[in-house]
Amino acid sequence: MSAVRLRATVLVATASLGLGLGLASAPVSAAPAPSLASETGAKRYVYDVRTGYTTDPQAAKEVKALLAKLPKDWMAKRNAFLAKQGLPHGPIQGAVESYLKGETCQPTALDGYVTRLLNGIPINRLFVLAILGVFDYPTYDAVFYGSKTNPDYALTPGTTGKVRGTMAVARGFWDIKNGDIDVMAMTSDMVVDRPRVIRIISLMFGTTSAEAAELADLLIPLIKDTTALRGGNNPIFSLNAFAFTAEGEQDPIFNGISDRIVMGEGIIKALRDTGNIEVGPQMVFSHEFGHHIQLENHAYPATTSPENTRMMELMADAYATYLDAHRKGLNFNMDRVNKAVEVAHLVGDCSTDSNGHHGTPQQRARAAAWGAALAKKNGVNVLPSKTVQALFLKALPGILAG
Ligand SMILES: [Zn+2]
């Protein structure tokens, strides 16, 4: 609970992958470095992302060279940036940290997918990238610089129709003010786009552009030289979707940023690769739209806790399938409803004691099934969003318990 936790984390992430350890969600103290109790040779070293400490000589050398480009207080600056109220955090940075610690999570197909992606990347390289927070660069880039008209943030080909179609239906379906929500994408290869990497490093570490450029010129070749990172085109860099609003944020860093839903190219690829592309993009988008409903209705609790995050995430799942299944919404048939419920299951996580906890796979599936059942029961009658919320909260104990 130390790190400031954000109203907006809740916003984050449809795909939460057992990520109890996001940089901002754990205390940013120099905890003793975890030792990696693992038989695999790859994991015989200690990697502490929080402090940059490692016993791996190759990684230590790289880290030293990279950190030499940053001011002495880089860690404090990074932590201050990450702790900013309202800043969204993706699941991958935390998943990488869990992976480096040798932790595993209750598996869904998505966990397996992410683990396979991580397995292909040399562990010392993962460590170096995690220290610099690279797995969240596309997220920050989309928050601070994303624009619905800039082609760098264009929706992933093949999903444009599904996303835009869902947006059009959602706008008319829900009773909240929503004309100001911009829809855009974040792409994985942002991490090798030199000017954008420089911009994010300056923002995150408080460096000058010249200092950031020196670091970027060390960092980008490391990414490009790692075969499994595919020149930056590895879905791991954008495996998330999130809703963001600057409304109510005090920090001037957020001034002028429009409300938005950002769809990661990586989550789309993950949905495709796990056989969920038919309804996955619609479900993910509907869930993020659900967060905007919650924001407009001021439904977020004042305090952050694993239980509160889970409640809001499961509610967003219910809002999502209510829209997807409803006759006045996307009007999914039962086959597609079942597939949407499967998507909710897919993105569940088991980090039950983390402030980033979104609900277990089973709980997310039950929340989604509950929303769809309510929609089918309502026929052509669309309930006010606050009524759906009230009904959901009544049903929540059952959704949690099963
Ligand atoms: Zn969410």
pLDDT of 56 higher than 70 = yes
Q: How many degrees, rounded to 5, is the angle at CA 280 between CA 275 and CA 286?
A: 170
Flag the least confident range among 26-40, 134-148, 294-308, 316-330: 26-40
Distance 4 CA to ligand 1 centre (A): 18
pLDDT of 15 higher than 80 = no
Distance 36 CA to ligand 1 centre (A): 31
Distance 212 CA to ligand 1 centre (A): 32
Q: Say which residue, 113 or 24, is predicted with more confidence.
A: 113
pLDDT of 30 higher than 50 = no
| Structure confidence by residue, pLDDT tens digits, 154-199 | 999 999 999 999 999 999 999 999 889 999 999 999 999 999 999 9
Banded model confidence at residue 401, pLDDT cuts 50, 70, 90: confident
Distance 306 CA to ligand 1 centre (A): 13
Distance CA 282, CA 368 (A): 13
Distance 394 CA to ligand 1 centre (A): 20
Identify the pLDDT of residue 101: 66
Structure tokens, 311: 């409640």
Distance CA 230, CA 251 (A): 36
Q: Say which residue, 331 or 30, is predicted with more confidence.
A: 331
Residue type, 6: L
Burial (CB count within 10 angstroms: exposed 0-12, middle 13-18, buried 19+), residue 335: exposed
Distance 35 CA to ligand 1 centre (A): 32
Distance 280 CA to ligand 1 centre (A): 14
Distance 242 CA to ligand 1 centre (A): 7
pLDDT of 99 higher than 80 = no
Flag the least confident range among 14-18, 80-84, 269-273: 14-18
Q: Which of 93, 5, 19 is CA-nearest to residue 300?
A: 5
Give the mean pLDDT of 22-38: 30
Q: Mean pLDDT in the chain?
A: 85
Identify the pLDDT of residue 342: 94
Distance 334 CA to ligand 1 centre (A): 23
Distance 106 CA to ligand 1 centre (A): 19
| Structure confidence by residue, pLDDT tens digits, 110-130 | 888 998 999 889 999 999 999
pLDDT of 22 higher than 50 = no
Distance 68 CA to ligand 1 centre (A): 37
Distance 317 CA to ligand 1 centre (A): 8
Q: Say which residue, 9 or 141, is predicted with more confidence.
A: 141
- How many CA atoms lie within 13 Å of 131's alpha carbon, on the beta-carbon side? 25
Identify the pLDDT of residue 358: 87
pLDDT of 17 higher than 70 = no
Distance 20 CA to ligand 1 centre (A): 15
| Structure confidence by residue, pLDDT tens digits, 234-251 | 999 999 999 999 988 889
Banded model confidence at residue 218, pLDDT cuts 50, 70, 90: very high
pLDDT of 29 higher than 60 = no
Identify the pLDDT of residue 49: 81
SS3 of the chain: CCCCCCHHHCCECCCCCCCCCCCCCCCCCCCCCCCCCCCCHHHCCCEECCCCEECCHHHHHHHHHHHCCCCCCHHHHHHHHHCCCCCCCCHHHHHHHHHHCCCCCCCCHHHHHHHHHHHCCCHHHHHHHHHCCHHHHHHHHHHHHCCCCCHHHCCCCCCHHHHHHHHHHHHHHCCCCCCCCEEEEECHHHHHCHHHHHHHHHHHHCCCHHHHHHHHHHHHHHHHCCHHHHHHCCHHHHCCEEEECCCCCCCHHHCCCCCEEEEEHHHHHHHHHCCCCCCHHHHHHHHHHHHHHHHHCCCCCCCCCHHHHHHHHHHHHHHHHHHHHCCCCCCCCHHHHHHHHHHHHHCCCCCCCCCCCCCCHHHHHHHHHHHHHHHHHHCCCCCCHHHHHHHHHHHHHHHHHC
Distance 380 CA to ligand 1 centre (A): 27
Distance 53 CA to ligand 1 centre (A): 33
pLDDT of 37 higher than 70 = no
- Report yes or no: 9 and 304 within 8 Å, Cβ to Cβ: yes
pLDDT of 137 higher than 70 = yes
Distance 201 CA to ligand 1 centre (A): 26
Q: Which of 306, 233, 228, 310 is CA-nearest to residue 266?
A: 233
Q: Which of 23, 30, 32 is CA-nearest to residue 4?
A: 23
Distance 401 CA to ligand 1 centre (A): 20
Percent of the chain with pLDDT strictly greater than 90: 64
Distance 320 CA to ligand 1 centre (A): 10
Distance 221 CA to ligand 1 centre (A): 33
Percent of the chain with pLDDT strictly greater than 70: 86
Identify the pLDDT of residue 98: 66
